[in-house]
Amino acid sequence: MKAIIAAAGTAGHINPGLAIANKIMQEDKNSEIIFIGTDRGLENDLVPRAGYKLKTIYAYGLSKKISIDNLKKLYKTYKGYGQAKKIIKEFNPDIVIGTGGYICGATITAAHSLKIPTMLHESNAFPGMAVKMLAKKTNTILVSFKDAISRIKNAKKIVYTGTPVKIRKKEYNENQKDKIIKDIKLSKNKPIVLVFGGSQGAKKINDTIIEIIKNKQNKNYQIIWAAGPKQYDIIKEILKKEKIDIENIEQVRIVPYIYNMEEVMNISNIIVARSGAMTVTEIANLGKPSILVPLPNVSHNHQLYNAKVLEKINAAKIILDDEMKAETLNNMIEEIVLDKNKIEEMGKNALKVSTTDVEEKIYSEIKKLVK
């Protein structure tokens, strides 16, 4: 099989594309796959690192405002359509797959004009503009959340598959669990709250957790906090001014990055995070209660819609960015972690929207289009 995958910008668009590529190669080792992206997104690191060739074109997200800058981007994006068409003609793929974002516009449109089968994967509960605009042209649209189906009009075919993610639910025995907790320098005697942001940052979460630490509000629970490599040193200095040593805080462990995230997510009692599509999918698959703080000012407020997938089944609580305060978050955490029945109930509810065999379902739909 020969396939082109269009993926650009954030890890949330690129990682599903890589997972799809890996599945194709696993099923057919003679397959040839190339990616189409831009010269400025994370794809320039993630795609070559995964062992795939990346071709770049012009592509931009366009604003509705009329400006010189926007007109320049519009012209370049139109030029990108020609670039995509040239790449597709030369490679002659059996299928062209887009995993969301503005890169899909030029690539899927070009493939459609050349009568090559196309597929889109939408990770968010509220579909992006590219997916909505391309619905009529695309042979099959795959969605991560059932909520997205009613929000896509005039599609030829929509299939609910879920999003491919690396984090899986694991069952550890007591010794294994104790070792993981010991390795992150916490205790097994109190509930563990895992806190992390996303690839676009989580300043509001960071500021709030700092206040909780300064005020010693986490008496009833422990915190393992992945602050992010860029934020870690900033947080270290802020705490230093309060005479708090970042490496010696009672019931708190702050690290730049968690390398064994699957283990830590599995042994944590509750998760506090942004609500990107992959994070919400991982939380659901693990069956964990969560407090979600949607990233504001993103297209169509899609992180809020992702969070609502879990909130409406009583698997998560939502705090909006401008309502985020130490007292509010602390009260919400304690309401959950001090009630074992609530932890169990919210976890079971999260599993109701978990997905399994995602890659198999996606590959099955690909095979239906590739004759």
CATH number of the domain encompassing residue 115? 3.40.50.2000
Residue 168 lies in a domain: no
Q: What backbone phi and psi angles, to 5 degrees, belong to 3?
A: -135, 145
Residue 157 lies in a domain: yes
Shared-domain flag, residues 108 and 72: yes
Residue 13 lies in a domain: yes
The C-alpha atoms of residue 183 and residue 178 are separated, in whole angstroms, by 9
The C-alpha atoms of residue 142 and residue 161 are separated, in whole angstroms, by 6
β-bridge partners, 194: 224, 271
Q: What pTM value is reported for the model? A: 0.89
The C-alpha atoms of residue 331 and residue 315 are separated, in whole angstroms, by 17
Residue 19 lies in a domain: yes
Shared-domain flag, residues 143 and 213: no
Shared-domain flag, residues 61 and 144: yes
Shared-domain flag, residues 236 and 304: yes
Shared-domain flag, residues 327 and 275: yes
Residue 81 lies in a domain: yes
The C-alpha atoms of residue 113 and residue 107 are separated, in whole angstroms, by 10
Shared-domain flag, residues 17 and 152: yes
Shared-domain flag, residues 140 and 206: no
Upper half-sphere CA count for residue 230 (Cβ side, 13 Å) = 7
What does the DSSP 8-state code read for residue 83? H
Residue 199 lies in a domain: yes
Shared-domain flag, residues 191 and 322: yes
Q: pLDDT at position 70, please?
A: 64
Q: pLDDT at position 9, please?
A: 86
Residue 208 lies in a domain: yes
Shared-domain flag, residues 149 and 191: no
Domain limits for position 210: 174-351
Q: pLDDT at position 117, please?
A: 98
Report the first-to-last Cα separation within the chain, whole angstroms. 10
Shared-domain flag, residues 118 and 33: yes
Q: Per the structure block, which two tokens stand in for 354?
A: 């978990």
Q: pLDDT at position 47, please?
A: 96
CB within 8 A of 305, min separation 6: which ones? 124, 125, 126, 147
Residue 169 lies in a domain: no
Q: 366: buried, middle or exposed (CB in 10 Å: 19+, 13-18, 0-12)? A: buried
Do the Cβ atoms of 239 and 223 come closer than 8 Å?
A: no
- List C-alpha distances in Å: 341 to 225, 318, 336: 25, 20, 9
* Three-class DSSP category at 291: strand
Q: Per the structure block, which two tokens stand in for 141?
A: 């649209």
The C-alpha atoms of residue 162 and residue 356 are separated, in whole angstroms, by 8
Shared-domain flag, residues 340 and 365: no
* Three-class DSSP category at 92: coil
Instruction: Tell me the angle at which helices 358-369 and 11-27 cross, rounded to the nearest 10 degrees.
Output: 70
Shared-domain flag, residues 197 and 81: no
Closest CA to 91 of 59, 53, 44: 53
Q: pLDDT at position 261, please?
A: 94
If DSSP states are collapsed to H, E and C, what string results for 158-215? Answer: EEECCCCCCCCCCCCCHHHHHHHHHHCCCCCCCCEEEEECCCCCCHHHHHHHHHHHHC
Q: Please state the domain count of the chain.
A: 2
Q: pLDDT at position 62, please?
A: 55
List per-residue pLDDT tens for the chain, 371 residues long: 999 999 998 888 899 999 999 999 999 999 999 999 999 888 999 999 999 999 999 887 655 566 776 667 665 677 889 999 999 999 999 999 999 778 999 999 999 999 999 999 999 999 988 898 899 999 999 999 999 999 999 999 999 999 999 899 999 999 999 999 999 999 999 999 999 985 445 888 999 999 999 999 999 999 999 998 888 999 999 999 999 999 999 999 999 989 999 999 999 999 999 999 999 999 999 999 999 999 987 767 889 999 999 999 999 999 999 999 999 999 999 999 999 999 999 999 999 999 999 999 999 999 999 97
